[in-house]
Amino acid sequence: MIVRGDLVCAAVSGGKDSLSLLHVLKKMSESHNFRLKAITIDEGIPGYREEALKIVSDFCTKLGVEYKVFQYKELFDLTLEESLEVRANEKISSCSICGTLRRRAMDYGAKEIGADVIATGHNLDDTLQTFIINTLSGDYNKIGWMYPQALTATPRKIKPFCEIYENEIVFYAFTNGIPFQSEPCPHMSEGIRTEIRDFLNNLENNHSGVKNSMNRSIYKISQIIKNSDYKQKRICLTCGNECTGEICSVCGLLLKLKQKKSQMCK
Ligand code: SF4
């Protein structure tokens, strides 16, 4: 995942996964030939993100890792809370807006600090949950997007914990004294992810190893869908990023939100 000489940008939220990842990468960077910096995306969720920012800042200082915060408000002129107030309807979930904007914010942050690679703390459980969410929504193209990126992408996106169970990361964080935010995001239980997480944990408790087997299947299925559903890449007319339509999903989303906001201001 990491190539000699890379500048790795760890995207750190303040949760157990990303802080454990930062801890592991920091140790590895001392014996392997790559550099490490960290970024945090501040969505603008009142009463939630402030604690995480403090935890990340203190932990980066302790590890001696350079660290920078990028805010939705500065990048998109909208906080997440403002976006939720002007979304077209409640069916557009907080997490789908937040996730779309976060991917762009991370790309921006990684480019800004000159990184070759963005490393996120997504674990095996996250992959399984996302696969089921995409399956249930009928959006099979997104399953193809789950296949790991080619080495030629810039910046490359890697998930070093993609084969690690969530509970193993919790264990790593506790045994290494890694501080992390325990307070969940106030929007966390709005979507279906928590129910799927409980369902998969029950299955794993009763049938040890099913998560690993499912993860192997997802790897193959995503590869097949990616190869069979190839769409010619185009350049977004608004921002110049790669996309498959005339404008990318981020610009499309921002356009709708800002139109709604200006209508509401009149
Ligand atoms: S739970 Fe949803 S809204 Fe909250 S930070 Fe995560 S993606 Fe954003």
Q: What is the pLDDT of residues 19-68, one digit of tens each?
A: 999 999 999 999 999 999 999 999 999 888 889 999 999 999 999 999 99
**CA 255, CA 161: separation in Å to the nearest integer?**
34
Residue 49: predicted pLDDT: 87
Residue 190: predicted pLDDT: 82
Q: Judge whether 132 lies within some domain.
A: no
Q: Give me the phi and psi of 134, to 5 degrees please.
A: -65, -35
Write down the H helix ranges in the chain: 16-31, 49-63, 72-76, 80-86, 94-112, 124-137, 140-145, 166-175, 193-206, 210-228, 249-265
CA of 135 from ligand 1 middle (Å) equals: 20
Domain housing 30: 7-122+149-183
**CA 36, CA 67: separation in Å to the nearest integer?**
10
Q: Judge whether 228 lies within some domain.
A: no
Residue with CA at minimum distance from ligand 1 atom 3: 95
Q: Judge whether 233 lies within some domain.
A: no
CB of residue 94 inside a 6 A radius of ligand 1: yes
Residue 74: predicted pLDDT: 95
Residue 234: predicted pLDDT: 80
Residue with CA at minimum distance from ligand 1 atom 1: 188
Residue 217: predicted pLDDT: 97
CA of 31 from ligand 1 middle (Å) equals: 34
CATH number at residue 72: 3.40.50.620
CB of residue 52 inside a 6 A radius of ligand 1: no
Q: Judge whether 207 lies within some domain.
A: no
Q: Judge whether 258 lies within some domain.
A: no
Of 172, 162, 165, residue with least CA distance to 204: 165
With a cut of 50, list the residues of the chain below it in pLDDT: none
Residue 228: predicted pLDDT: 85
Q: Could you give the dihedral angle defined by the CA atoms of residues 208, 212, 218 and 220, in that order, rounded to the nearest 10 degrees?
A: -120
Domain count, the chain: 1
Residue 179: predicted pLDDT: 93
CA of 191 from ligand 1 middle (Å) equals: 10
